[in-house]
Structure 1
Amino acid sequence: MRIENTFTVPVAVDEAWIVLLDVERVAPCMPGAQLETVDGDVFTGRVKAKVGPVTLTYKGRAEFTSRDAATHTATLTAKGKDARGAGTAAATVTMRLAGENGITRVEVHTDLDITGKPAQLGRGVITDVGNKIIGQFADALAGQLAAERPAADPGDAAAAEAAGAGETTAPKSAANGRHARPADDSIDVLGLAGRSLLKGLLAALIRPFRRRRPPQERHLS
């Protein structure tokens, strides 16, 4: 199954290239993902996904198999297996970056092979869920980059801190200062599928009741 996505990063292409290849930096932005080890271009981790009442935890390994800084293109391969043997997932992801006016456009091409309950949902639903996951990742990354940028002036920073003293902010991780994740950040597959899943279910329910058109009568001349 081939899935194509596009998102933007609010920084210049050279900076976006460095950020997106920094696995430890971007992993907290990916819904359901937890990074475990990093060794050069190879890293391991897990991804949690909920399909209705069933929670799947894919444990696996990924590797950057190619990087081309001149064209800002990178390829990543990943394989994972549910901890309870309920399915597998494998993907080859190619990422291409293009910058314009201080913003970077990222094209992502994914060749996905998935088994188990998620595969039963069909290509349309999986594509829709993938699009929404990428959207959430892009939003989280943009927020992280904005939070990491220093204030233009120390006085402005002090004023902003004073103005926000009474506001409630999201908790941060003591380890790295980034926003902490909720206790359960599993990917809610059915929740993300939304309308596309409902459309598929309705089509499946209606299909048996559709009548075939009778064959057209032939007129002899």
Structure 2
Amino acid sequence: MEFTNEFRVSLPMEAAWDLLTDVERIAPCMPGAQLTEVDGDRFHGTVKVRVGAVTVQYRGTASFDQLDEANRTVRLAASGRDTHGQGNADAHITAALAPDGDGTRVTVRTRLSVTGKVAQFGKGVMTDISRKLLDQFVACLEERLAAERETGGEPAAASAAPAPAPAPVLAPAPEPAAAQPKAAEPLATAPVTPAAEPSAAPATPPESEPLDLLAVARGPVVKRLVPAVLAGLVLLGVVRRLRRACRCRSGRHRA
């Protein structure tokens, strides 16, 4: 299935290009996704999707097929496989940037192929889901950009470096009682501080919350079900009226 979405970023073209091609920077804003490893231009990660009571986790990779900085176009290929072997997903995403006032307009074209439990959603529902997820992604980006502006361009979570400890104040040495020469005392050596042990490896980032597709798709699904439900109610009313008419006729014939 293929669908096209658009969104706007409140950054000029050059800054928007730098942001949207920095996968490590934007990965925390991708619903249900977690970046686990960066190997050059290849990115490894997981995406958790919940369908009702069932949670599906895709583990896969993504890489840039094209980075056309002159035309501000980027093409990304991603593929993942259900960790239980019950489905897979492949996506080819092309994003084109264009100036939009003091910001940047981004047009995203996606070609998606998915099997397994997620495939139960049709193209219409998946199109609405992609739009809602993109809205969440953009809202997250704008929040992070606002936080970075408040901190002067630094990530909001960054902490200030600790202030250096004040240098010790040395007291002046006392004057000798007599002018008589005195044997030099051995210099005191500063105590040797043992070398600090290497710090532990950084903790693994917390796992992302699964993306609840039914919650996201509830609105689109309801929109598509309402006409069918109304048609069913109308049909049910017609059937009841026909039954009543038949009963009345049969009663008259008996009389």
TM-score by length of 1: 0.77
Which structure would you say has the larger Rg?
2
Provide Cα deviations, 1:133-183, integer angstroms capped at 9, x if missing partner: 11100000111111112468xxxxxxxxxxxxxxxxxx9598xxxxxx987
Does the C-alpha gap of structure 1 residues 41 and 151 become closer, same or farther in structure 2, counting only changes over 3 Å? closer
CA distance in structure 2 between the partners assigned to 1:140 and 1:103 by the alignment: 16
Aligned CA distance change for structure 1 residues 151 and 77 (closer, same or farther; 3 Å): closer
Distance 1:183 1:40 in 2: 23
Q: Secondary structure at the match of 1:5?
A: strand
The answer (yes or no) to whether the contact 1:2–1:112 under 8 Å persists in 2 is yes
* SS of match in other structure, 1:141: helix
Corresponding residue pairs, total: 187
Structure 2 gaps of 5+ residues are 160-204, 236-255
Of 177, 185, 209, the match for 1:185: 209
- 1:186 maps to a residue whose letter is P
User: Matches of 1:67 and 1:31 in 2, distance apart?
Assistant: 24
State the alpha-carbon separation in 1 of the partners of residues 17 and 230 from structure 2: 48
Aligned residue for 1:104, secondary structure, equals strand
Does the 8 Å CA contact 1:97/1:104 hold for their aligned counterparts?
A: yes
Tell me the TM-score normalized by structure 2. Answer: 0.67
Q: Identity over the aligned pairs, expressed in percent?
A: 44
Paired residues for 1:38-57 under 5 Å: 38-57=38-57
The aligned counterpart of 1:197 is: 221
Q: Which runs of 5+ in 1 are unaligned?
A: 153-170, 175-180, 212-221
Query: Could you say what secondary structure the match of 2:16 adopts?
Result: helix
Q: Secondary structure at the match of 1:124?
A: helix
- Determine the structure 1 residue equivalent to 2:141: 141
| More strand per residue | 1
What does 1:118-197 align with in structure 2 at a 5 Å threshold?
118-150=118-150, 185-197=209-221
What is the Cα-based RMSD across aligned positions, in Å? 2.5
In structure 1, the residue matched to 2:82 is 82
8 Å Cα contact 1:132-1:192 kept in structure 2:
yes
The yes-or-no answer on 1:64 pairing with 2:88 is: no
Structure 1 residues 183, 44: closer, same or farther in 2, change over 3 A? closer
Letter in 2 for 1:198: V
Equivalent residue for 1:28? 28
Aligned residue identity for 1:65:
D
2:34–2:207 Cα contact (<8 Å) kept: no
Q: Which position in structure 2 is the counterpart of 1:97?
A: 97
Q: 1:130 Cα deviation (Å)?
A: 0.8
Amino acid at match of 1:111: R
The structural deviation recorded for 1:131 is 0.7
Contact 1:4–1:107 (CA under 8 A) maintained in structure 2: yes
- Residue 48 of structure 1 deviates from its aligned partner by 0.6
* Residues 151 and 44 of structure 1, relative CA distance in 2, 3 Å threshold: closer
CA positional deviation for 1:184: 5.6
Q: Secondary structure at the match of 2:31?
A: coil
Q: Please say if residues 118 and 126 of structure 1, whose CA atoms lie closer than 8 Å, have aligned partners that are also in contact.
A: no
**Displacement of 1:101 after TM fit?**
2.5
Say whether the 8 Å CA contact 1:11–1:103 is kept in structure 2. yes
Give the match's secondary structure for 1:195.
helix
